[in-house]
Chains A and B, each alone.
Chain A
């Protein structure tokens, strides 16, 4: 008898331990709550009419997001509770949670990821005149399921000291004259994937594959960080590269004479590739009114702080860009491809694989 109950006993005590941990968690959270994640109370349907209470956000974009949320709380009285993570993982969490999700809003740092979420049916449409008038048609889903908040341009960059005639197209980076002098981001990163998706959209799969192959033929130095790509160009490890603009903003904020220049590509045609930061209401948002209020605020009053904090371009073309960003000049952006990036991402990834792109 003794041994039978012994083992059952041990197993039961393990179960008890888990339950204790669960209860401990509920008690503990309130006590150690982060100021930003304040107000654990009242996430419920009891306050359905007037947006108030707490809005819960899953955000794949985390850089400098906290002060923006604080500003929102100041303006509306709605508290923001948020968790950060990677776009695909937050999407999986939303799918798994289904009706039980605590999230009202999901924010991503890239268009393809929000489209995949939309395809899974975890987003809820927002019928909002405010959003329709603030965000251009090319930057929101046709069925109002998600909305861009900012544009992030991926451009050609070059050393200001060593490169008098930099390439002016993405294909130009594959010109043999840059052999061994190019820095690129590995294909595991969504920035590279969405750039190639935009090549497929604009130039067709065959031409896109040739361009990717020409990059690979130039034996690029693959660096998995845009900041480090800028640093590599500045240090002379490469002469030309492809990177997002806002990282230069961060570098120039420290050193205005930073020796790397932006070259706006494809200005005689479609314009520079842009991806977007997005926000969407979830299909089972516990507090949809507050979620909607947050998205509307980010698309209007919050545009300035949301984009300035990271030197990005506002989704609303009427909102002014940061002074430092304005210094880079005006450019034509390839906004018309944005809604097609998600659909072409898989093809882009497989194309990069085939080309032997790292």
Chain B
């Protein structure tokens, strides 16, 4: 190491310190609840091991594999369909296929449970496979988004080279497209996997007993929060395995595409092939979006007719405003923190990579555990007397926003990191050789080159936040009642008819955000090379 490099590192010390503060703030709530694993409760573990734990592990791992594989196949396949082939309705499908992201898993799950109850029978409908299908349908857009962005940036030349060398389309796909998109697909799949690990709403509907569900069972059933959080450490272990697989899949691959001016030109599909392509796309949309919305609309009309919507529907605007305010603030905060992390932490180095993993722990443990962790941290601050003028963080909007950042930072971080990863390292390195500081590299090179990706990350985070229930439910300020809270108040009493109005509003907000996402992709400043 040269002397200049050493001086460089020394100068970066304050930056490192402030970054570590951010990491600590993001990781602390999860750590305060899970450190209890160091002093485990053997009796509870023995009991669980003898009873539910083996089943929980099997269910969790099977569900994880099924959903990640399903989302990869569906997300990648659909992204390739709309990128490489020309058929009627391709453009509309291109963005409509993102809309299932707007559908909360527990809403889609209930609608399909209710719809399939008659044909399949009440027992067969409550199965891990149907649960997996529902999760695939709501989560595949993560893979789809990453895959599409990646395919968009594939240069036509690399595909053409393959074609001109006499490769069949299938060979081009396996030998050229897939390897080049591997990092993006892995990033999307990792998000899907983490969502599956922490899901507690959808699995309960289908009687699937996962570890996350077990955490809540132990906690709510026995009042033993310590044992419950010990169990959630299992989820962190599973997530670590998941992320290790992701890293391994990405390998050392860093792709900077030199030529982005010419994307892949979609090839015309003819006859029945075009029909089949369109049918696949619209079919997925019908199952994941159209049928559920139709069902919710029917319930909403029923609610109006029977007068059940009267008292609650009056509050629609109020709930909507709450949701937008919370999601807007929290998404901006997530994005800001995510940018700080991604800019400061070079994923090529080991320690920063570990730090960024630490900062995104909140995404893999169940929401209620994160909520309690944040509660403990904020309450300690409130008692510390450090805060000015009797200010209380618990139950404040700031506290809620902080909690949501802890929970959803991973989504922003994953999106930003993957965008930054596509900025050619050669460019960054040469600019730095010319003496530009990190901030300069960030504002001058990385941000402009990844503007689209960052906007997309922000919107995806906002969609996730707007659907959040557990964090908001526990930490919201008085007078803040979001749409999911309303949905929960109705569904926890099995009043699905009453839940239809807020569910529809939630889906509508999600749709608008998806629209913004599409706009970001279509009109985002195309990166010049």
Contacts and interface: CB of A to CB of B under 8 A. Distances in A.
A24 interface: yes
B47 A6 contact: no
Nearest to A88: B220
B440 A2 contact: yes
Interface stretch (A30-38, A131-139, A158-166): A30-38
Given A7-B439, A34-B479, A93 B222 contact: no
A101 to B, nearest CB: 8
A186 B207 contact: yes
Given A4-B11, A25-B477, A358-B207, A62 B489 contact: yes
Interface in A104-123: 112-113, 116
Given A92-B375, A96-B394, A346-B223, A2 B122 contact: no
Contacts of A259: none
B336 interface: yes
A122 B374 CA distance: 20
A346 B438 contact: no
B332 A17 contact: yes
A168 interface: no
B481 A89 contact: no
B478 A83 contact: yes
Nearest to B118: A235
A28 interface: yes
Interface string A74-103: 000000011111111110110011111010
B322 interface: yes
A182 B343 CA distance: 58
A22 B396 contact: yes
A224 B207 contact: yes
Contact count band on A? 35 or more
Contacts of A349: 217, 221-222
A6 B375 contact: no
B376 A96 contact: yes
Contact of A345 (B222, B339, B439): B222
B391 interface: yes
A13 to B, nearest CB: 7
Contact of A188 (B204, B223, B339, B489): B204
Interface centre among B21, B329, B378, B479 (most CB of A within 10 A): B479
A37 B478 contact: yes
Contact of B122 (A84, A221, A254, A358): A221
Contact of A7 (B18, B332, B489): B18
Contact count band on B? 35 or more
Contacts of A228: 494
Nearest to B317: A32
Nearest to B18: A11
Interface string A43-83: 00000000000001000001100000000000000000111
B14 A8 contact: yes
B76 interface: no
Contact of B383 (A10, A25, A100): A100
Interface string B35-47: 0000000000001
B368 A224 contact: no
Nearest to A230: B494
B14 A85 contact: no
Contact of B379 (A4, A96, A225): A96
Contacts of A237: 121-122
Interface stretch (B80-88, B242-250, B397-405): B397-405
Given A3-B438, A345-B223, A63 B493 contact: yes
Interface in B122-172: 122-123, 126
Contact of A3 (B123, B339, B439, B485): B439
A354 interface: yes
A4 B15 contact: yes
B395 A89 contact: no
Contacts of A345: 221-223
Contact of B478 (A13, A29, A193): A29
Nearest to B217: A188
A350 interface: yes
B452 interface: no
A21 B494 contact: no
Interface string B196-232: 0000000011010100010011011111110000000
A14 interface: yes
A188 B18 contact: no
A18 B333 CA distance: 8
Contacts of B257: none
B372 interface: yes
Contacts of B392: 100, 102
A335 to B, nearest CB: 23
Interface string A281-315: 00000000000000000000000000000000000
Given A8-B18, A25-B477, A34-B318, 13 more contacts: A4-B14, A7-B340, A11-B18, A11-B340, A14-B333, A18-B333, A18-B398, A40-B479, A81-B478, A84-B485, A100-B383, A353-B51, A358-B207
Interface of B: 11-12, 14-15, 18-19, 21-22, 47-48, 50-52, 121-123, 126, 204-205, 207, 209, 213, 216-217, 219-225, 306, 315, 318, 321-322, 325, 329, 332-333, 336-337, 339-340, 343-344, 368, 371-372, 375-376, 378-379, 382-383, 391-399, 401-402, 437-440, 442, 473-474, 476-481, 485, 489, 492-495
25 contacts: A4-B12, A6-B442, A10-B340, A14-B336, A32-B318, A32-B480, A33-B479, A34-B318, A56-B478, A62-B492, A82-B478, A84-B485, A89-B368, A89-B372, A102-B478, A113-B223, A187-B221, A254-B306, A346-B222, A346-B223, A346-B224, A350-B222, A353-B47, A353-B48, A353-B52
